[in-house]
């Protein structure tokens, strides 16, 4: 089973955060999402078993071919690569 | 102990060493102390998890041999600092960023660019250089570019302190 964790919050858009548990920028991004109190799902790709990791990582690379973290996927359309807080803010606000 | 099992003292000690080494060797650690703490903790977790200190902001997949380039300090630090003002994870920054004349923004990962081109090697059209009969081979530090002519690479790079695995046979 793929271990996505759901964080309950405002809105019902499909917001996914692919993160690494060791990465400071992923942590900043996650903290921002937590503070904004939006509803989202996150996964720590580095903590997955090898099979799950390959599956989730190749799925993520469809959206961000470089495979870098954090990668945020909004409604399976918009992709934000890196802890670009302003851009996340803009896209979240835009969809409100 | 933090939730990751890495002690606060261990992190403090490593930050102290990194700061001292950086200053001695012409590098600067990020002034965002909280971020530096997170990154150093990530490096120490990776050491425990994988057996080597890979970049906390990149995914380590496979064996050590496949990840030598992302052992901290990574092979891309020099180029990223001069082009963007910080390395990929932003543990190291340029003087301007340290002096707060510039800010460090998220940067793209050049790791896969290099895997495509491998342009750091002496190109094939330099056959004359490749066929030189050298008394000693020349090794190059992939982190800082230091070259040395000797039987084997040094255990530790005398310039940037990278481990011997970071050396490639250059000529």
The pLDDT value recorded for residue B101 is 82
Q: What is the pLDDT of residues B18-34, one digit of tens each?
A: 999 998 888 999 999 99
Is A58 touching B (CB cutoff 8 A)? Answer: no
Mean pLDDT for the stretch of residues A85-95: 81
| In chain A, residues 59-78 whose CB comes closer than 8 Å to chain B | 66-69
- B84 in the same domain as B141: no
Q: What is the pLDDT of residues B92-103, one digit of tens each?
A: 999 988 888 888
Comparing A51 with A93, which gets the higher pLDDT?
A51
∠ CA(A34), CA(B100), CA(B143), 5° rounding? 85
Is A53 touching B (CB cutoff 8 A)? Answer: yes
Q: What is the pLDDT of residues A15-53, one digit of tens each?
A: 999 999 999 999 999 999 999 999 999 999 999 999 999
The pLDDT value recorded for residue B150 is 94
**B50 falls within a domain:** yes
ipTM of the complex: 0.90
Is A32 touching B (CB cutoff 8 A)? Answer: no
Domain range for B43 is 8-116
Check B59 against A46: CB less than 8 A apart: yes
**B98 falls within a domain:** yes
Low-confidence residues of chain B, pLDDT below 70? Answer: 1-4, 114-130
Q: What DSSP element (H or E) covers B168? A: strand B167-169
Domain count, chain A: 1
- B110 in the same domain as B144: no
**pLDDT above 80 for A2:** no
**B72 falls within a domain:** yes
Helix (H, G, I), strand (E, B) or coil at A41: strand
- B97 in the same domain as B13: yes
Domain range for A44 is 5-94
- DSSP secondary structure letters along A67-78: --S-EEEETTTE
| Token output for A6 | 């759901």
Check A23 against B112: CB less than 8 A apart: no
Comparing B38 with A3, which gets the higher pLDDT?
B38
Domain count, chain B: 2
Is A81 touching B (CB cutoff 8 A)? Answer: yes
Nearest CB to B106 within list A57, A67, A84 = A84
- B77 in the same domain as B150: no
């Amino acid at each position: 089973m793929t271990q996505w964790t759901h964080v309950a919050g405002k809105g019902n858009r499909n917001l996914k955060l692919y993160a690494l548990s060791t990465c400071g920028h992923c942590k900043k991004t996650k903290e921002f999402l937590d503070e904004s109190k939006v509803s989202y799902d996150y996964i720590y790709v580095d903590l997955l078993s090898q099979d799950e990791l390959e599956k989730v990582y190749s799925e993520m690379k469809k959206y961000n071919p470089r495979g870098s973290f954090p990668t945020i996927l909004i409604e399976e359309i918009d992709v934000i690569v890196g802890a670009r807080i302003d851009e996340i803010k803009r896209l979240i606000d835009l969809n409100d | 102990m933090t939730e990751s099992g890495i002690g606060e003292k261990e992190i403090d000690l490593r930050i102290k060493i990194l700061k001292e080494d950086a200053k001695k060797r012409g590098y600067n650690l990020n002034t965002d102390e909280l971020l530096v703490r997170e990154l150093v903790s990530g490096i120490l977790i990776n050491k425990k998890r994988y057996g080597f200190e890979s970049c906390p902001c990149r995914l380590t997949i496979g064996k050590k041999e496949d990840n030598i380039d992302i052992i901290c300090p990574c092979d891309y630090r020099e180029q990223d600092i001069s082009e963007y003002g910080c390395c990929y994870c932003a543990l190291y920054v340029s003087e301007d960023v340290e002096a707060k004349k510039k800010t460090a923004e998220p940067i793209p990962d050049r790791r896969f660019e290099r895997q495509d081109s491998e342009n750091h090697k002496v190109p094939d059209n330099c056959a004359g250089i490749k066929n030189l009969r050298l008394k000693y081979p020349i090794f190059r530090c992939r982190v800082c570019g230091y070259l040395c002519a000797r039987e084997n690479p040094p255990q530790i790079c005398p310039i940037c302190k990278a481990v011997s695995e970071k050396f490639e046979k250059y000529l």
